[in-house]
Amino acid sequence: MADTDLLAIEDLAVHFPVGGGMFSQPQMLRAVDGVSLRIRPGESLGLVGESGCGKSTLALSILGLVDPTRGRVVVDGTAVGTDTDRLAVARTVQMVFQDPYASLNPRQTVRRTLAAPLRLHGITNSGEVADRVAEMLRQVGLRPDQADLYPHEFSGGQRQRIGIARALILKPKLVICDEPVSALDVSIRAQIINLLLELQAEMGLSYLMISHDLGVVEHMSDKVAVMYLGRIVETGGWREIFERPRHPYTRALIAAIPDPLTRALGREKAHGEVPSPLNPPPGCTFNPRCPHAIDKCRASPPVLSPIEEGHLVSCWRAEELSTVRA
């Protein structure tokens, strides 16, 4: 791993045994199956994919909440697993959840919610705790005098601000944002997106931005990785991914956006639904849904390989598929 990487994921695989009993073998669910990713300090990586593609398992393994079956996750120079010191990981990596209604304790005041991580990490001087809570609330656009209110007394957007404050109060380096705005009202989303970008600039944060909303990902990310059935199928800078997408799945995601702005970019759609990760199709796992699949795609899986500087694609036909969006 290069010294400059804050997060380095190398050939990570996380498999879960499913079912099985006294007389039957469990099946293996390959939630993450050979993923390599890097995030540098201050950089944002957008992770795109549909439900069941392994995004959340990937997030859990970065937080050290599941063990790799293969490969490793290195955060700020330390390999992470379930036997790693949780407190040490928590000082470096924090998470902002999708649903601010579900992720805050309704019976705790904001002050208690924000003070808990500080106390856990040895900051017990009550004056200092109060100062840091007040300062953090100010940073996320709330008033320090709101610290003694309960979550239900806030609006959805304000609750997400509290969720962000809780994630940032320990001054982590990497923040995993799992669909940070999709549970919010449309007119509130811009406020939270702007806030996340401001905080990134102020605190030098790195983001792993998990979202299915490509508009949000384009707006917030430096690099983008597209995930399908446990693997990265395409990765590159945001321009490469959104201006010159090469993988048919990436193109299908773009074509699926119902926006007059992208409507002009063509309608190269995917058909059917994501197959079960318990029983993925042979060859390229996207082949049953791919408009360009040929025999080779059904026979052997392609590998992620560079197609231009910093732009990797896992598709047998990436070279021949024109760079112009069909």
Partner 1 sequence: MSGDMNLLEVEDLRIELTADNGRYPAVEGVSFTIARGETVGLVGESGCGKSITALSVMGLLRHPLALAGGKIRLTGQEIQDLPPAEMRALRGKRIAMIFQEPMTALNPLKTVGRQIAEMYVLHQGANWNDADARAVEALKQVKVPAPERRARAYPHELSGGMRQRVMIAIALACEPDLLIADEPTTALDVTVQSEIVDLMKELCSAKGTAILMISHDLGLVTDICKRVCVMYAGRIVEQQDSEMIFNRPQHPYTQGLVASLPRLGMRARHGRQRLTEISGVVPGITAYPDGCRFHPRCGRKTEICEKVAPELTPLADGALVRCYHYG
Order of strands across the sheet that contains 78-79: 27-39, 7-18, 70-75, 78-79
Phi and psi at residue 165, to the nearest 5°: -60, -40
The H or E element that residue 225 is part of is strand 223-228
Q: How far is the CB of 289 from partner 1 (least distance, A)?
A: 8
Could you tell me if 121 and 170 are in contact, meaning their C-beta atoms sit under 8 angstroms apart? yes
Expressed in percent and rounded to 5, the helix, strand and coil fractions of the chain are 35, 20, 45
Task: Report the chain's terminal Cα–Cα distance, integer Å.
Answer: 38
Smaller CB separation from partner 1, 72 or 212: 212
Binding site for partner 1 (CB under 8 A): 50-51, 155-158, 185-191, 193-194, 197, 212-216, 218-220, 238-239, 242-243, 252-263, 265, 269-271, 273-274, 289
What Rg, from alpha-carbon coordinates, does the chain have?
Answer: 21
Smaller CB separation from partner 1, 127 or 258: 258
Smaller CB separation from partner 1, 94 or 221: 221
* Residues 268, 321: Cα–Cα separation, whole Å: 12
For residues 53, 59, 64, 65, the Cα torsion angle rounded to the nearest 10 degrees is -60
Could you tell me if 74 and 19 are in contact, meaning their C-beta atoms sit under 8 angstroms apart? no
Q: How far is the CB of 272 from partner 1 (least distance, A)?
A: 8
Smaller CB separation from partner 1, 16 or 101: 101
**AA letter at 189:** R
Q: How far is the CB of 254 from partner 1 (least distance, A)?
A: 7
Smaller CB separation from partner 1, 21 or 272: 272
Q: How far is the CB of 212 from partner 1 (least distance, A)?
A: 6
Q: How far is the CB of 210 from partner 1 (least distance, A)?
A: 14
Smaller CB separation from partner 1, 74 or 193: 193
Q: How far is the CB of 193 from partner 1 (least distance, A)?
A: 6
